[in-house]
Structure 1
Amino acid sequence: MNETGTVESRVLKYADKEKITSGVPQLDGILQSYRLGDNVVWEVEELEDYRYFAGKLIRQAISSGSKCVYVRFAPHDPILEPMEGLDIVKIDPGNGFDFFSSQVHRTIEHYGEKVYYVFDNLSSLMVEWATDELVANFFKATCPYLFELETIGYFCLTRGKHSHSTVASIRETTQVLLDYYHIGDRAYIHPLKVYDRYSQSMFLPHVVTGENWEPIFDSGKAASISSIDRRKVIRMGSRGTAPWDTVYTKLKFHYEMGILDTIPDPELTALRQELSRMIIGEHPRFNRLADIYLTLEDLLGIRDRMIGSGRIGGKAVGMLLSRNIVLNSDRKEEFSEIIEAHDSFYIGSDVFFTFMINNDLFRLKVRLSDSSSMTKDEFEEVEKRFLEGKFPEEIMEQFKDLMDYFGQAPIIVRSSSLQEDSYGNAFAGKYRSEFCANQGSPEERLEAFMHAVKLVYASALNPDALAYRRTRGLHYHDEQMAILVQRVSGMSYRQYFFPALAGVAFSKNLFRWTKRIDPEKGLIRLVFGLGTRSVDRVGRDYPRMIAVSHPALRPETGSKLIKYSQWDVDVLDLDAKDLITIPFYDLVSRCDYPNLRMFVSVMNDGYLTDPYTNTIDCSQEVVLTFNNLIKNTRFVDIMGQILRIVEEVYEQPVDIEFTASLDQKGNVRINIVQCRPMTTPGSDENIEIPDNIKDENILFRSGMLINQGKVENVEYIVYIDPQAYEAADMDLKRSIGRVVGRINEKIGGMGSEFILMGPGRWGSSNIELGVNATYSEIEHTSLLVEIAREKAGHTPEVSYGTHFFQDIVEEEIIYMPVYPDAKGSKFNEAFFRDSRNMLTDILPDHEGFSHVVKVINVREASFGAHAVVIANLYEQDAVCYLEKPAVGRTWKLDKLKGQWQ
């Protein structure tokens, strides 16, 4: 029955009702027992399963002296055999819906309150009445009456035999809905609805074995089980005659009937390719790979797991292709045991535009796409507009199916736009991904999921994404937002959920901190916990950088190993229902996390040592080094093979986001969650640095690079003074990124070359660690310099592998850290201190920032010279120096000011 009206007035009493046993203690434990008034619907594959549970219920009820009734109406074998204490009431459904429903109603009225009922399989009524809708109507007429009389009612449906609307109606009406199924020789029970009861494991699938029916917390096991169960898909609404439906329906019918060979080969190939293009779109290189690596079964599986229609977007395509490339390689037998199954779902790109049009958001999208800029406050208003939007009823019903499928397993709602993760356009970090802890009642979980979907939709209009599209000439191209819904990898530990390992791997290593490293073998950026800390510049953390060619080599040595480690972990707090950051030591303070010795080293007498046993003394300092993982497992070798295999097929370097886990024997399991073509920076030629540069002409020099190039005729330097920044108050620090954005827009509009220099980490979410400028606020610079001042306490992070790095590479911005206080460093202190600050010339109302932000006109400060930057990646050497202009060039001092007036 619908949980409004009558039920609403009784809900407080309902939770306090007497607990009623099902006759199966394990089931009572999962559901926290029945309550008088419960109608229980079983979706089963085999009637024998329903027969078992119905028999347990009735025998228990008879032994306790309760009245029991079996309503017999179906042609199948009896659910219950005659027994003392059981009344069998036979009613013929052949006389029609009205007669049958009325007779059932009279039977219920006759027996009165607190009776136990078992009904035959409701699916047989669909055959008798030739309509699915009447099955739902019968249940909606019967269930509320049973509820009012405080009975216990057992009903049954054959799994997969009913329309979405029928099951949705029954789900809304009943108090308990249970999915019971078999995979191989094991049975599983998955509660989909339990009214007014809740636990953190109630809505998870449970394996039915022995005395303990264990919930499946581990994401890998859950995905393996669910991906095999192909009947657990989205129930589609009514089919139309559009080409999409026609192609899918024809292929699905012939596939399921096992008669594909009746379709001529040319026609079958054409139909399969047509379905592939409908799902993926027209991307020649991806289409070629899809034709080879996505089977008809794969394509039908994608459609079966799609909400709405349209395309699945670049992120979903990259994930699917890379997985299949590895699983179909010459080492497929080995990788079949290593690559975790996935059971992802897709929200088709058509739903995005339907949502925008139905909620009057389309004109807003057009206006913002044409606009040159948008403030943070303006974008917050855009998000608010999206969050107020509503979805069509049919989409809502499919959302409910998706949430029923995942139960309480944490999920992530990921952007997968049509242009995302494609060749040449990564859109790295431009759109949102939202974690859902997925805890609480079904209604709460659905609401949180829709909130996440709307935030991802809104991110299509965020300033960074719009700037990225404009910069790359994509702002008038078709850019629809599909969504990839994935199970979060990992398992529960205490009240937290997270993977043991996560990170991003690159088939080319552009960060060679020693010439011993082979750049062709790739690099891994590894963290403990959720992978957010591997792709974002957050907090005080440094992920473990692993060169695949030399895994044991580190960029750091000695005491710096501790400083340049990961200290905080991102996890999902299932109690708080939120993504949180927790210190690593607090998370593992009990030292009972599985395989902990593979991830940590222990400080012993001033030295880091790697544990030999599983017994770790957490009273000592433990540091995330991953040393034992690297030395004693095949993790690095496996990742190296994956990178090589995918790169060869893509015919281009790739980067792959992944999660990983270890079993007790040290066997590695990998889950590929994302793959995209990798943009490599600069040219391959060796750019020589002149050896005759005078020391007095050098502005700064760096010996640590991630890309190379040469920039001539640098006219301006934007310099954020590290010591002034350190002394500034928090409000001013929060605003500096916006000030940089305005300067970036002004100088960028002139087409002039300029350098950005500032303390610590550009783009960090923590303003204590560096300037919080976004992509759209730095996009026009030629060189980005991170200054490490020991007195100011700022330390750059060589951010190879982050979304921030991807932006720098794609825009061909040279990046380097500079250490002015380091021994042997070259940094022209006087030039940056004494040059005139032109900030108020270009931003007259920003005088309050002039003690921190300095805009230097290089020609004015150097009597007509300009700056040149040369960065040699192979030699790990970069220099910025002053060079006199060519003979015949003139310079007008008022040029800059005139340009801005």
Structure 2
Amino acid sequence: MGLDELLQNLWYGDNVVWQVDELEDYIFFAEKFMENAIEEGHRCVYIRFAPHRPILEPTKGLDIVEVDPAKGFDYFSTEVHRIIESYGREVFYVFDNLSTLVVEWATDELLANFFKATCPYLYELDTVTYFALTKGRHGHQAVAAIRETTQLLLNFYHVESNAYIHPLKVYGRYSSQMFLPHLMQEDEWVPLFNSGEAASVSGGKDRHILDPGVSSIAPWDTIYSKALQYQMLYEEGRIPLQEMMALKSELCRMIIGDRPRFRELAEKYFDIDDLLYIRERIIGSGMIGGKSVGMLLSRNIVLKEDDTGEFGKIMEPHDSFYIGSDVFFTFLINNDLFRLKIDLSNGYRLSKEEFREVEQRFLEGTFPADIMEQFRSMLDYFGQAPIIVRSSSLLEDNFGNAFAGKYRSEFCTNQGDPEERLTAFLEAVKLVYASALDPDALIYRKVHGLDNTDEQMAILVQRVSGTHYKNYFFPALAGVTFSRNLFAWSEQIDPNKGMIRLVFGLGTRAVDRVDRDYPRIVSVSHPQLRPERGRQIARYSQIEVDLLDLERNEFRTVPVSTLLKDFDYPRLRMYTSLLKDDYLRDPVTNFISASDGKPVLTFNNLISKTKFVEIIGNAIQTIEKAYGQPVDVEFTAFIGKSNNIKLNILQCRPMKIPGKVESLSLPADLGPDEILFRSSKTICGGVVPDIRYIVYVDPVIYSTDIDFEKKQSLGRIIGHLNEKLGKEGEEFILMGPGRWGSSNLELGVNVTYSEIRNTSVLIEVARQTTEHRPDVSYGTHFFLDLVEEEIIYLPLYPDEPEAQFNERFFERSANSFSDILPEYDSFSDIIKLIDVPAVTGAHACVSADPEKQDAICFLKK
């Protein structure tokens, strides 16, 4: 598209400010502008005041008026107003580079004042005017004042041999592509949709987006200023290495914090330039938090431990920003929320309804003016590229405490004009801040002995990985990968090589338990070996895709059949197989149509015809070696030319591995009535003797006899039971339909972390007469909670031949539920609480061995 099409034409009243690196770039656009204006018969004026070469040469139809800024601000501004007044309405103007005025007047403030006085007068007279600023020469406040006043603010720059334009403000006009960076290709401006390409261009161009400033005497500013100075002197050989390393260590402490293991890794894998680059992208001040540190460390580990240099070609660049941890407390204090945080941290339990009121109080909060300006600068940088606002608390993704899924992340589709985008972004930030007081997060902190530990909420703002397709934006590949595979469903699998949970679209469906979807489970050691067989492959595949709808400006879930109905998604054959006549086949070419069959997301060709699994495997093993323990990593990826893989690491946390299972000698003479259940699908192991209670939610009753409202309340009632039994100190088992923790009530009980944390064993039951099927939840945030709480998780298929299920015991045992929770007696039809010793005279015992893929629950006297 041409420039007029991109900007939807210039309007009378427009003031256009070009931010350029070189004067020649401004001359190019100004000449084109005046040529067209003269040709169309407009009155045209060039106001000349700078010592640089002329922007425009004398030509017929152009008046050149000179004004001397050396006589001072008052004279110059008054004279320019007099000139504008004398020419009257609908005149086309070009001004010299405004940056030269600072040389005469010595301050950015007077430059901004001149523009704020002149621009509205030009707007009032329906003129069209070009101005220029030299990029990077002016303070943040001056540029912000100019942006606020002008109608159009355009960045123009070169990266290598390519030219780019990035509109930052276009008053009164909007399109879904307007505020993206655009590449000049054969006299057309082509928007950069791909996240990696945009990050590479924008991130590599300008480091000083936020204008951190160095005027304060506080160490936050003085150490940064000193590091900038010493870096230059060190490169010139004028500063000894020891002094430079000490300064680097201090900067690292300020940004990363004092957690010993993270500090050790940061000292090894971050150089001074890495730390300065991070510092220059911090909004406000303070540390960047665990999630940010994990993301940055894992990327640097993979890149710096790679002797071949291959990962430098594979890794997609990132251009993240960080809202410093200090901003969180400033927000709390300025909005009278700090006392609320203290009260809730001291043990007051919020209901879900009360927490929604807390969220509303956060949403009503405001930020200081300087932070708001930095928010605007960051959003100008991203333009209309979708972003995600992610929690990055100081304790998050730490060694020993994952906080997986406890705090909030919010996608910003980032469409609309700048003010609309700012409003949506502020709401996302406030909701993430509020999640620091979420009941589940507070309980998690208390359980792990962190309730009296300093917990500040930093925020990671990332560009969403992916590209456009139709009206949508999403990555082709996303998921979570683990350097250890606890779900080794075959003896051939090497658990030490790791596992991948892979989805099409946003990675939310890989880490959350949602709807009726099943991600592709990939064993790194044997990637083509599946836990499903035959017809199960199609049935237990991903059927919906999470994505960002750019037209509706919202997060959406779209069925695979709807999204891919036109069969025109790039390299579709790499992601799908085709189901026709009950037979599944992998396409050979990209020429696929509806007549070839129904698309099923299997990723078979991706796995067999690319190095995707090998790349993931190498990355996680490299990170594990550096961390000194297993890790789990969230990622996105896409397939480039010649089936080359591009990988983006989004998050990395240490992975907790359940302790080794002690061998348990089973009684030799166990009768059928003494075995309560047995499963051949074991994910994590352990032994739990002396179990008194079994909490049993019958899957058949749940599916057929319980209404929606009761299902909606069931998780809360289970939570009350969990709390009651936990206080009694009795071991108990939770058993019930399908996916515990699912957001879809049809698939399982909608419990949260706090509502199951006291149980010893969690059993997900699948009956053939229901639609419930346990998702192999290994890899979800839900599963990480179970591992951290040392809860044994088992899927149970009572109707399968290799399983055992004592139907008689579960049907005929007395129900003690009303004795424990009489106030919720109405739920005794769906929740059965079996007091095992009272019913049998013995306690139950569970033994689970993932190596043997065998778990048994039996009566032990």
* Bin of the TM-score, shorter chain as denominator length: over 0.9
Superposed counterparts of 1:185-224, under 5 Å: 185-224=161-200
**Contact 1:682/1:707 (CA < 8 Å) preserved in 2?**
no
**Contact 2:481/2:499 (CA < 8 Å) preserved in 1?**
yes
Superposed counterparts of 1:177-188, under 5 Å: 177-188=153-164
CA distance in 2, matches of 1:522, 1:515: 14
CA distance in 1, matches of 2:7, 2:661: 63
Equivalent residue for 2:716?
A: 738
Superposed counterparts of 1:13-24, under 5 Å: none
What RMSD over aligned residues (CA atoms) do the two structures have, in Å? 1.3
Counterpart of 2:31, as a letter, is G
Counterpart of 1:79, as a letter, is I
- Match of residue 822, structure 1, among 800, 803, 811: 800
Equivalent residue for 1:80?
A: 56
Superposed counterparts of 1:97-112, under 5 Å: 97-112=73-88
**Contact 2:695/2:732 (CA < 8 Å) preserved in 1?**
yes
**Contact 2:379/2:422 (CA < 8 Å) preserved in 1?**
yes
Superposed counterparts of 1:850-889, under 5 Å: 850-863=828-841, 865-884=842-861
CA distance in 2, matches of 1:242, 1:253: 17
**Contact 1:403/1:446 (CA < 8 Å) preserved in 2?**
yes
Equivalent residue for 2:366?
A: 390
1:57–1:872 CA distance, 2 compared to 1 (3 A):
same
Equivalent residue for 1:276?
A: 252
Q: How far does residue 211 in structure 1 lie from its aligned partner after superposition? A: 2.1
Q: How far does residue 280 in structure 1 lie from its aligned partner after superposition? A: 0.4
Q: How far does residue 761 in structure 1 lie from its aligned partner after superposition? A: 0.6
Task: Write the deviation string for residues 175-216 of structure 1: whole angstroms up to 9, x where unpaired.
Answer: 000001111111110000000000000000001221221000
**Contact 2:213/2:221 (CA < 8 Å) preserved in 1?**
no
Equivalent residue for 1:252?
A: 228
Counterpart of 2:148, as a letter, is E
Q: How far does residue 750 in structure 1 lie from its aligned partner after superposition? A: 1.8
Larger mean CA deviation between 797-806 and 228-237 belongs to 228-237
1:689–1:350 CA distance, 2 compared to 1 (3 A):
farther
CA distance in 1, matches of 2:578, 2:662: 44
Equivalent residue for 1:14?
A: none
Paired residues in the alignment total: 859
Equivalent residue for 2:680?
A: 703
Mapped pair 1:323 → 2:278: no
Superposed counterparts of 1:280-429, under 5 Å: 280-371=256-347, 373-429=349-405
Counterpart of 2:297, as a letter, is L
Task: Write the deviation string for residues 671-721 of structure 1: whole angstroms up to 9, x where unpaired.
Answer: 001111111113255555454433211111111111100011111111112
Q: How far does residue 232 in structure 1 lie from its aligned partner after superposition? A: 5.1
**Contact 1:688/1:872 (CA < 8 Å) preserved in 2?**
no
1:148–1:238 CA distance, 2 compared to 1 (3 A):
farther
Partner-residue secondary structure (3-state), 2:237: helix
CA distance in 1, matches of 2:614, 2:580: 30
- Match of residue 90, structure 1, among 43, 48, 66: 66
Partner-residue secondary structure (3-state), 1:337: helix
CA distance in 1, matches of 2:116, 2:663: 76
Superposed counterparts of 1:506-655, under 5 Å: 506-619=482-595, 620-655=597-632
- Match of residue 431, structure 1, among 394, 397, 407: 407
**Contact 2:167/2:179 (CA < 8 Å) preserved in 1?**
yes
Larger mean CA deviation between 156-165 and 253-262 belongs to 253-262
CA distance in 2, matches of 1:528, 1:137: 51
Equivalent residue for 2:18?
A: 42
Partner-residue secondary structure (3-state), 2:608: helix
Q: How far does residue 74 in structure 1 lie from its aligned partner after superposition? A: 1.0
CA distance in 1, matches of 2:185, 2:67: 37
Q: How far does residue 523 in structure 1 lie from its aligned partner after superposition? A: 0.4
Counterpart of 2:744, as a letter, is N
Counterpart of 1:233, as a letter, is I
Q: How far does residue 448 in structure 1 lie from its aligned partner after superposition? A: 0.3
CA distance in 1, matches of 2:666, 2:286: 52
- Match of residue 810, structure 2, among 825, 829, 832: 832
Mapped pair 1:722 → 2:683: no
Segments of structure 2 that go 5 or more residues without pairing to the other structure are none
Counterpart of 2:205, as a letter, is D
CA distance in 1, matches of 2:125, 2:230: 48
Q: TM-score, normalised by structure 1?
A: 0.94
CA distance in 1, matches of 2:669, 2:440: 41
1:99–1:356 CA distance, 2 compared to 1 (3 A):
same
Partner-residue secondary structure (3-state), 1:35: coil
**Contact 2:207/2:280 (CA < 8 Å) preserved in 1?**
no
Partner-residue secondary structure (3-state), 1:34: coil
Counterpart of 1:32, as a letter, is Q
Partner-residue secondary structure (3-state), 2:165: strand
Q: How far does residue 127 in structure 1 lie from its aligned partner after superposition? A: 1.2
Greater than 4 Å deviation, 4+ residue runs: 256-260, 684-691
CA distance in 2, matches of 1:79, 1:691: 96
Segments of structure 1 that go 5 or more residues without pairing to the other structure are 1-24, 885-901
- Match of residue 127, structure 2, among 146, 151, 175: 151
Larger mean CA deviation between 422-431 and 831-840 belongs to 831-840
1:653–1:809 CA distance, 2 compared to 1 (3 A):
same
**Contact 2:214/2:222 (CA < 8 Å) preserved in 1?**
no
**Contact 2:566/2:593 (CA < 8 Å) preserved in 1?**
no
CA distance in 2, matches of 1:878, 1:816: 8
CA distance in 1, matches of 2:668, 2:421: 64
CA distance in 1, matches of 2:270, 2:667: 52
**Contact 1:705/1:877 (CA < 8 Å) preserved in 2?**
yes
Counterpart of 1:525, as a letter, is R
Counterpart of 1:307, as a letter, is I
Mapped pair 1:68 → 2:68: no
Task: Write the deviation string for residues 252-294 of structure 1: whole angstroms up to 9, x where unpaired.
Answer: 1343577563223222111111000100001111111111111
CA distance in 1, matches of 2:586, 2:226: 59
Matched-pair identity in %:
60
CA distance in 1, matches of 2:488, 2:480: 17
Task: Write the deviation string for residues 585-610 of structure 1: whole angstroms up to 9, x where unpaired.
Answer: 10011101000000111123321110
Partner-residue secondary structure (3-state), 1:665: helix
CA distance in 2, matches of 1:173, 1:372: 48
Mapped pair 1:754 → 2:768: no
1:690–1:126 CA distance, 2 compared to 1 (3 A):
farther
Equivalent residue for 2:760?
A: 782
Task: Write the deviation string for residues 477-513 of structure 1: whole angstroms up to 9, x where unpaired.
Answer: 0110000000000000000000000000100010011
Task: Write the deviation string for residues 531-563 of structure 1: whole angstroms up to 9, x where unpaired.
Answer: 000000101000000001101100011111111
Counterpart of 1:657, as a letter, is E
1:744–1:197 CA distance, 2 compared to 1 (3 A):
same
Equivalent residue for 1:468?
A: 444
Mapped pair 1:441 → 2:417: yes
Task: Write the deviation string for residues 702-756 of structure 1: whole angstroms up to 9, x where unpaired.
Answer: 1111110001111111111212211200000000000000011111112211111
1:257–1:109 CA distance, 2 compared to 1 (3 A):
farther
CA distance in 1, matches of 2:564, 2:552: 19
Q: TM-score, normalised by structure 2?
A: 0.98
CA distance in 2, matches of 1:180, 1:716: 69
Task: Write the deviation string for residues 796-846 of structure 1: whole angstroms up to 9, x where unpaired.
Answer: 112010000000001100010112222243212222222222222222211
Counterpart of 1:758, as a letter, is G
**Contact 1:160/1:231 (CA < 8 Å) preserved in 2?**
no
CA distance in 1, matches of 2:237, 2:391: 38
**Contact 1:323/1:672 (CA < 8 Å) preserved in 2?**
yes
Equivalent residue for 2:653?
A: 676
1:794–1:622 CA distance, 2 compared to 1 (3 A):
same
Partner-residue secondary structure (3-state), 1:658: strand
